[in-house]
Chain A
Amino acid sequence: MKTLIKTILLSFPVAALFGCDEAIELDLNQTPPQYVVDALITDQLTDHYVKLSTSVDFYVEGQTPSVSGADVVVSDDKGNVFQFQENENRPGWYSTRFAGKPGSTYKLEVKLPNGETLTAEDTMYPVQSIDSLVWDIDEKAVEDEDPYAYTVKIYVLEPAATKDFYLFKFFRNDSIQNFDSNTGIFYADDELIGGYVNGLEGPENYRKSDTARVEMYRISQDAFLFYNDLDNILNGDGGMTGPSPANPRTNIRSEDGLGLGLFQVAAVDIISIVAGEE
């Protein structure tokens, strides 16, 4: 829960008080594309995806190129091997159906079409359940006649004995809510948490009858560090009052060092309610 404090702190440099900003054109060098892994395996019995793509130059518009024709295999420490298949209508998306098991360590091995190999390893830890998700009325929004007048609050017991890391995802009618800027990341460790999270408000408001869904992932330390670094890049100020931006720490290993992206293995608890319904 350092993130919350960090957000408060860094959201208030002098620039926020007096600053103005304007778009500028950067004169940037071209750079060779680099491979990116975006993989998530949970304890749900569902299709799990490994998405492969490459980076592009900063000013290139549109979707980044996908990487087809790779060999994607995930194995666990119990001897199970999961061969991923590339989807026919979504190039670069590789999937297979199984349920991850908390306590297992998973290995990812990707053989790229050019012969290079990317590897990664992550462990799944059990997640406790969210006690409840309740809605509440935002009086101020009602006053302003804003239809988005419902907030949601989460109640969860956090086990104090272990050092745990979490990632939260908030959905409104199945669409993810990362604030309105596509830069919100809700990750936390329990270092400062007392035990009970008692009605923590979600980041976005809902209309009556919207379905609000919260997914709570128990992530590894590797993944936590990745999200911390990702947050620095997405929400940093270029290194004036925060750290100089640098690519995130990751568990992806390429042949010549660290890769890009994350192989995330996490148990998840999902809860949803309909705003305004008892």
Chain B
Amino acid sequence: MRKLIFLSLIFLTGWYQCAVAQQKFTLNGYVKDATNGEELIGVTVLIKESGIGVVSNVYGFYAISLPADTYNVEFSYVGYQSLTQTILLKSNRELNVSLQPSVTEMQEVVISEERSDEFKNVERIEMSRNDIPVDLVKKTPALFGEPDIIKTVQMMPGVISAGEGTSGYFVRGGGADQNLILIDEAPIYDPSHFFGLFSVFNADVIKDSELYKGGIPAQFGGRLSSILEVRTKDGNNQQLSGSGSIGLLASKVMLEGPIANENSSFLLSARRSYADVFLQFANDEDLRENKVYFYDINAKVNWKPDNKNRFFLAGYAGRDNFNFNNLFGFNWGNMTGTFRWNHLFSEKLFSNTTLIASNFDYTLESKQAASEFEWSANLQEFSLKQDFNYFVNPKNILSFGLQATYRSFSPGKIVPGSEDSFYGNTEMAKMYAMDYALYLSNEQQVTQRLSLLYGLRLSVFQNVGETTIYEYAKNEQGIPNNLNIRVTDSTYYRSMEPIKTFAKLEPRFSARYLLGNNNSLKLSYNRMVQYVHLLSNSTVPVPFNTWTPSSPYLNPQLADQLAVGYFHNFQENMYAFSVETYYKKMQDVTDFADNANLLLNQDAPVEYRQGEGESYGLELFLQKNKGRLTGFASYTLSKTDLDIPGVNRGQAFPANYDRRHVGNVMANYSLDDRWSIGSTFTYSTGRPFTLPVGRYQFDDYNVDLFSNRNSYRLPDFHRLDLSGNYEPRRNANRRWKTSWNFAIYNAYNRRNPFTIYTQSIKDEDGRVIDPDKKEARMVYLFPILPSVSYKITF
């Protein structure tokens, strides 16, 4: 079967034509920004004579094969002036170009060629993919004035937010752990700062980011529902420049520039919050002892010795630190490193070799007398990736590669904090895994109207030693018994000894058919497999959740998704519109038994449950990229149910993040060349919620009685935010420019539900008035919150 697929792949690509075709030459090169040397991703390169176009890849590289002739080649990219060059092609040729940014975004709309960059919405084969508009994010309102792309991701069609104050999001019926978040190709296991108020992504260093929700290309794998790829800037190779900004919550500095000459550049950026600095001025002495902060550091070095070789080294480190009255404290953080080598083996063969390291860890400590301890846990990952792009002919681009990853999961280690502490030295069993993937895919232009992107990914996952695997007694349904937990058998595995091996084939397919000059139909199918599982039974993951590999305890999770969509651009690509509908079926979705105790629990595997999930929905998206008004609006109608044996007494239930209607608007309007105003509005149906149906007495406790999981809903969520940006006219004598951002979060002061809890009725001091009378209380997070930030750029 596998052989057949491969053969048909070769057949489809039309390689057999090569032998008889007339002699062709390859035109290739890099496209970059003329002002800072940043490589531009997704630039449309159009051969005007034939109408054939290609798009620059994620490294800014393009290649196209053509018969010998003279051509007009047009390079176009949103926000940049298009450039047309006439070339005489009579041998393989390299053409590197630099594009000038548009002078101002208020420029008159130039009626351009049909197939310019703005046409990408309709033309590109991939569907269910959203570019996160980083420039727009910076101009629209943000909580405490700190722009955050994750908050914008949460507004995309098909994406559901866990609520405000979290970095969690859910894509097309998938859980919060089913999103792969990459920074320069390295995975981030917990993207949150301050428990999710902010994300680890500093908007100032982001070059470009995109979210894949369906039709996911074969080079990506490892998560069921989405891939968020974030790329940082390469650093200006033209001149030293930088920026600094002061906000209510955090301050940032960034410096970038060439190192020796324009072949090399660097970028260095740091961000730190300073809520704790203000605490020093507090009247209450106890408050002054508190430590509450986070920081991020991004660093990158680029070296381009020649046009055949490019290297970069990128690193990220971020951490949150909390300490209360020196009684207890915790911290968590991510560290990633990426080394990349782009190499051009020939005009047609582009290679990308990447070494990746990622670490996530957390520590908590208590200094309370007799129970001092320090608890720490971490997850480490090392990967080698080799990707190739082979520009077969103008109609076929072949991508293939392989990947190997080693992971180590240390769910926790406890060390007593003093000799008097009652804690002993305990280390929870570590887990290890090896992960391999091979992929092959082809992007093929079948006719002028029909293009296909199809491929296959083979993923192999091994849970390896050293560890001991326990067998637990099962209940009547064959599920590990968590009422009466007993170990019936155990097996020891030596270091690197395979414990269980899983292998899965993941077919991927996308098709685009151009209906007319400005609209298209797209179809996609993908199978995704996820081999790592987040041990969290909360709606919002907290940084103290640990991950665990597929193992004898847990099968890999698997999802099949089918999506169709209609894409239409209006008014000379001023507006890009899409409507998509999807159906997703998930198998072996990981969940946990009711009341599961996953934290610090050596017997946690008895709480693991796996079952089926089903999700379907309709998504509308309208985007405006040009003119005084820019922004987008999205609407999602969806339904997600889970059916997991051993959870909710075996009955299907709506997922925690099942919200029927979700609508978002994000817009920015330029009043003149100094002032612009921005706004975001978000609405969603309240999330499903388990409410008590009654109460009863046990001992002195007044206990809620529950029936089915998630059978109620919280009130609807909606919020309006407003912002104003002011950029004073640049003084001709000065090199630097300044800008102000004023924002109002939750402009009409809506009390949005975060959660509901119950209690016996209490007085103002928290004393119970009547233990036999209960009430429900709704928690809401942010009232109306104004903020201001100031930025200097040079």
Q: Looking at the complex, which of B4-12, B133-141, B204-212, B364-372 is the stretch in contact with chain A?
A: B364-372
Are B696 and A55 neighbours in the complex by a CB distance under 8 Å? yes
Are A19 and B754 neighbours in the complex by a CB distance under 8 Å? yes
Are B693 and A247 neighbours in the complex by a CB distance under 8 Å? no
A105 → B minimal CB distance (Å): 13
Query: Which of A2, A20, A22 has the most chain B CB atoms closer than 10 A to its own CB?
Result: A20
The yes or no answer to B729 lying at the interface (CB within 8 A) is: no
**In-complex Cβ contact of B700 among A17, A36, A176, A225 (8 A):** A176
**In-complex Cβ contact of B194 among A14, A176, A248 (8 A):** A14
The proximity string for A residues 165-197 relative to B, scoring 1 for CB distances below 8 Å and 0 otherwise, is 000000000001010111101000001111111
Cα distance A59–B346 when bound, in Å? 76
The yes or no answer to B626 lying at the interface (CB within 8 A) is: no
Closest to B162 in A: A240
| A199 proximity list for chain B (CB < 8 A) | 369-370, 420
Are B696 and A53 neighbours in the complex by a CB distance under 8 Å? yes
B residues 323-368 near A (Cβ < 8 Å) are: 328, 330, 364, 366, 368
Are A239 and B420 neighbours in the complex by a CB distance under 8 Å? no
**In-complex Cβ contact of A238 among B544, B595, B755 (8 A):** B755
The proximity string for B residues 689-728 relative to A, scoring 1 for CB distances below 8 Å and 0 otherwise, is 1111111111111111111011010000000000000000
| A261 proximity list for chain B (CB < 8 A) | 696, 698
The size class of the interface chain B forms with chain A is 35 or more
Query: Which of A33, A242, A243 has the most chain B CB atoms closer than 10 A to its own CB?
Result: A243
Are B366 and A14 neighbours in the complex by a CB distance under 8 Å? no
B residues 597-612 near A (Cβ < 8 Å) are: 597, 599-602
| A198 proximity list for chain B (CB < 8 A) | 370, 420-422
A190 → B minimal CB distance (Å): 9
| B542 proximity list for chain A (CB < 8 A) | 9, 13, 241
Are B709 and A15 neighbours in the complex by a CB distance under 8 Å? no
The yes or no answer to B627 lying at the interface (CB within 8 A) is: no
**In-complex Cβ contact of A14 among B416, B599, B692, B781 (8 A):** B781
Are B483 and A14 neighbours in the complex by a CB distance under 8 Å? no
| A45 proximity list for chain B (CB < 8 A) | none
The proximity string for A residues 1-24 relative to B, scoring 1 for CB distances below 8 Å and 0 otherwise, is 110111011001111011111111
Cα distance A4–B371 when bound, in Å? 9
A residues 228-278 near B (Cβ < 8 Å) are: 228-230, 232-234, 236-249, 251, 257, 260-262
A67 → B minimal CB distance (Å): 12
Are B695 and A233 neighbours in the complex by a CB distance under 8 Å? no
**In-complex Cβ contact of A64 among B602, B693, B696, B775 (8 A):** B696
The proximity string for A residues 47-82 relative to B, scoring 1 for CB distances below 8 Å and 0 otherwise, is 000000111111111111000000000000000000
Are A20 and B776 neighbours in the complex by a CB distance under 8 Å? no
Are B540 and A9 neighbours in the complex by a CB distance under 8 Å? no
The answer to whether A239 and B698 touch (CB under 8 A), given A182-B760, A221-B485, is no
A residues 22-38 near B (Cβ < 8 Å) are: 22-26, 28-29, 31, 33-34, 36, 38
Are B777 and A38 neighbours in the complex by a CB distance under 8 Å? no
Cα distance A17–B369 when bound, in Å? 25
The size class of the interface chain A forms with chain B is 35 or more
B323 → A minimal CB distance (Å): 12
Cα distance A1–B330 when bound, in Å? 18
Are B423 and A194 neighbours in the complex by a CB distance under 8 Å? yes
| B705 proximity list for chain A (CB < 8 A) | 31, 34, 55, 58, 247, 260
| B373 proximity list for chain A (CB < 8 A) | 5, 192
The answer to whether A244 and B772 touch (CB under 8 A), given A1-B422, A181-B759, is no
The yes or no answer to A107 lying at the interface (CB within 8 A) is: no
B441 → A minimal CB distance (Å): 40
The yes or no answer to B783 lying at the interface (CB within 8 A) is: yes
Closest to B760 in A: A182
Closest to A25 in B: B776
Cα distance A18–B694 when bound, in Å? 30
B residues 748-769 near A (Cβ < 8 Å) are: 751, 754-760, 762, 766-768
Are A221 and B484 neighbours in the complex by a CB distance under 8 Å? yes
Cα distance A184–B237 when bound, in Å? 61
| A233 proximity list for chain B (CB < 8 A) | 703-704, 706
The yes or no answer to B562 lying at the interface (CB within 8 A) is: no
B701 → A minimal CB distance (Å): 6
A199 → B minimal CB distance (Å): 5
Closest to B485 in A: A221
The proximity string for B residues 373-388 relative to A, scoring 1 for CB distances below 8 Å and 0 otherwise, is 1010000000000000
| A246 proximity list for chain B (CB < 8 A) | 594-595, 648, 690, 706, 709
Closest to A236 in B: B757
The answer to whether A228 and B328 touch (CB under 8 A), given A19-B754, A58-B774, is no
The yes or no answer to A200 lying at the interface (CB within 8 A) is: yes
The yes or no answer to B770 lying at the interface (CB within 8 A) is: yes
Are B774 and A59 neighbours in the complex by a CB distance under 8 Å? yes
Closest to B592 in A: A243
A5 → B minimal CB distance (Å): 6
**In-complex Cβ contact of B538 among A6, A24, A28, A243 (8 A):** A243
The proximity string for B residues 74-96 relative to A, scoring 1 for CB distances below 8 Å and 0 otherwise, is 00000000000000000000000
The yes or no answer to A109 lying at the interface (CB within 8 A) is: no
**In-complex Cβ contact of A181 among B696, B762, B773 (8 A):** B762
A50 → B minimal CB distance (Å): 13
The yes or no answer to B510 lying at the interface (CB within 8 A) is: no
Are A63 and B697 neighbours in the complex by a CB distance under 8 Å? yes
The yes or no answer to A210 lying at the interface (CB within 8 A) is: no
B residues 466-489 near A (Cβ < 8 Å) are: 482-485
Cα distance A182–B758 when bound, in Å? 12
The answer to whether A196 and B422 touch (CB under 8 A), given A176-B700, A182-B700, A201-B369, is yes
The answer to whether A180 and B768 touch (CB under 8 A), given A198-B420, A244-B710, is yes
The yes or no answer to A207 lying at the interface (CB within 8 A) is: no
| A204 proximity list for chain B (CB < 8 A) | none
| B364 proximity list for chain A (CB < 8 A) | 5, 8-9
The yes or no answer to A222 lying at the interface (CB within 8 A) is: yes
Query: Which of A8, A31, A201 has the most chain B CB atoms closer than 10 A to its own CB?
Result: A8
B784 → A minimal CB distance (Å): 12
Query: Which of A1, A9, A21, A238 has the most chain B CB atoms closer than 10 A to its own CB?
Result: A238
Closest to A37 in B: B698
Closest to B767 in A: A180
A236 → B minimal CB distance (Å): 7
The yes or no answer to B18 lying at the interface (CB within 8 A) is: no
The answer to whether A249 and B482 touch (CB under 8 A), given A201-B370, A237-B757, is yes
Cα distance A240–B536 when bound, in Å? 11
**In-complex Cβ contact of B777 among A21, A57, A234 (8 A):** A21
A14 → B minimal CB distance (Å): 4
| A33 proximity list for chain B (CB < 8 A) | 694
B475 → A minimal CB distance (Å): 12
| A9 proximity list for chain B (CB < 8 A) | 330, 364, 542, 544, 599
Closest to B702 in A: A182
Cα distance A182–B695 when bound, in Å? 14
Query: Which of A193, A237, A247, A248 has the most chain B CB atoms closer than 10 A to its own CB?
Result: A247
| A248 proximity list for chain B (CB < 8 A) | 595
The yes or no answer to B539 lying at the interface (CB within 8 A) is: yes
Are B697 and A181 neighbours in the complex by a CB distance under 8 Å? no
The proximity string for B residues 302-338 relative to A, scoring 1 for CB distances below 8 Å and 0 otherwise, is 0000000000000000000010000010100000000
The answer to whether A15 and B696 touch (CB under 8 A), given A191-B602, A239-B539, A243-B594, is no
Cα distance A158–B423 when bound, in Å? 11
The answer to whether A240 and B420 touch (CB under 8 A), given A14-B196, A18-B781, A31-B705, is no
Please name the 10 residue pairs, one residue from A and one from B, whose CB atoms are nearest each other, closest first.
A194-B424, A246-B594, A55-B696, A240-B755, A229-B595, A197-B422, A31-B693, A238-B755, A243-B537, A14-B195
Q: 19 more A-B contacts (CB under 8 A) besides A29-B693, A199-B370?
A: A4-B366, A9-B544, A12-B195, A13-B542, A15-B755, A20-B779, A21-B778, A26-B712, A28-B693, A53-B696, A55-B694, A180-B767, A181-B768, A183-B759, A185-B701, A229-B595, A233-B703, A245-B706, A246-B690
- A-B contacts, 6 of them at CB < 8 A, read A14-B781, A61-B773, A181-B762, A192-B424, A245-B706, A247-B706
